[in-house]
Amino acid sequence: MAHKFEIFKDKAGEYRVRFKYNNEVMFASEGYAGKASAQNAIESIKKNGPDAPVEDNT
């Protein structure tokens, strides 16, 4: 699969989410205290992301 979400623990012990495409990190989330919160972030992105507007600040 060319793209995937990845949950990992950072050095501070917080859970974070990365979205990767062809093994390149496209974005990473804030830190979460619990793994369930990181999983909820992924579900929120999947649910709400397709309709998100693009804001071009160039």
Q: Which residues pair with 17 in a beta bridge?
A: 7
What is this structure's pTM?
A: 0.82
Q: Report whether 12 contacts 31 (CB < 8 A).
A: yes
Instruction: Name the residue ranges covered by the structural domains of the chain.
Output: 3-49
Q: What pLDDT does 2 receive?
A: 87
CATH fold group of domain 3-49? Double Stranded RNA Binding Domain (3.30.160)
Q: What is the mean pLDDT of residues 54-58?
A: 95
Determine which helix (DSSP H) or strand (DSSP E) holds 43, and give its type and residue range: helix 35-48
**Is residue 55 scored above 80 in pLDDT?**
yes
Half-sphere exposure for 15 (CA within 13 Å, toward CB): 14
Question: Can you tell me whether residue 31 is helix, strand or coil?
Answer: coil
Report which residue type is found at 42.
I
